[in-house]
Amino acid sequence: MSNGVDIRYLLNAYRADSGRVTFHGVRASLIRKQSAALGMTLLQKRVGDHDYEEVFYEALLELRANGVKGMIFGDIDVQRNREWCERIALRAGLEAVFPLWNIDQRKILEEFIGAGFRAVIVAVDSKFLPKEVLGKSIDLDWLKLMDRLRSEAICDPITYCGENGEYHSFVSGGPCFKSNMKFKTGESVQRNGHWLIDLLEQ
Q: What is the mean pLDDT of residues 146-157?
A: 87
* β-strand partners of 95: 70
The CATH number for 89's domain is: 3.40.50.620
- Each as own residue / partner, the long-range contacts of residues 72-75 (CB below 8 Å, 24 or more positions apart, any chain) are 72/5, 72/7, 72/97, 72/98, 72/99, 73/97, 73/98, 74/100, 75/100, 75/101, 75/163
Q: What is the mean pLDDT of residues 148-163?
A: 89
* Prediction pTM value: 0.93
Can you give the pLDDT at residue 202? 85
Give per-residue pLDDT as tens, 79-123: 999 999 999 999 999 999 999 999 999 999 999 999 999 999 999
Can you give the pLDDT at residue 3? 67
Give per-residue pLDDT as tens, 12-32: 999 999 999 988 999 999 999
Give per-residue pLDDT as tens, 38-77: 999 999 999 998 999 999 999 999 999 999 999 999 999 9
pLDDT grade for 153, boundaries at 50, 70 and 90 = confident
Measure CA 173 to chain center: 14
| Residues 6 or more apart whose Cβ sits within 8 Å of residue 8 | 40, 41, 66, 67, 68
**Shared domain check, 84 and 21:** yes
Q: Which of 102, 135, 152 is the last residue of a domain?
A: 102
Neighbouring C-alpha atoms within 13 Å toward the C-beta of 14: 18
**Shared domain check, 161 and 120:** yes
The answer to whether 181 touches 172, Cβ cutoff 8 Å, is yes
**Shared domain check, 111 and 96:** no
Can you give the pLDDT at residue 70? 98
Q: Which of 48, 70, 102 is the last residue of a domain?
A: 102
Can you give the pLDDT at residue 151? 92
**Shared domain check, 81 and 168:** no
Residue 117 to residue 41: CA distance in whole angstroms: 20
The DSSP string of 73-141 is: ----S-HHHHHHHHHHHHHTT-EEE-TTTT--HHHHHHHHHHTT-EEEEEEEETTTS-GGGTT-B-SHH
**Shared domain check, 114 and 146:** yes
The DSSP string of 16-40 is: TTTSB-TTT--BHHHHHHHHHHHT-
**Shared domain check, 76 and 127:** no
Range of the domain at 39: 1-102
* SS3 label, residue 161: coil
Q: Which of 102, 125, 156 is the last residue of a domain?
A: 102
**Shared domain check, 108 and 95:** no
Report how many domains make up the chain: 2
**Shared domain check, 183 and 90:** no
Q: What is the mean pLDDT of residues 3-12?
A: 89
pLDDT grade for 2, boundaries at 50, 70 and 90 = low
**Shared domain check, 114 and 78:** no
Q: What is the mean pLDDT of residues 157-180?
A: 96
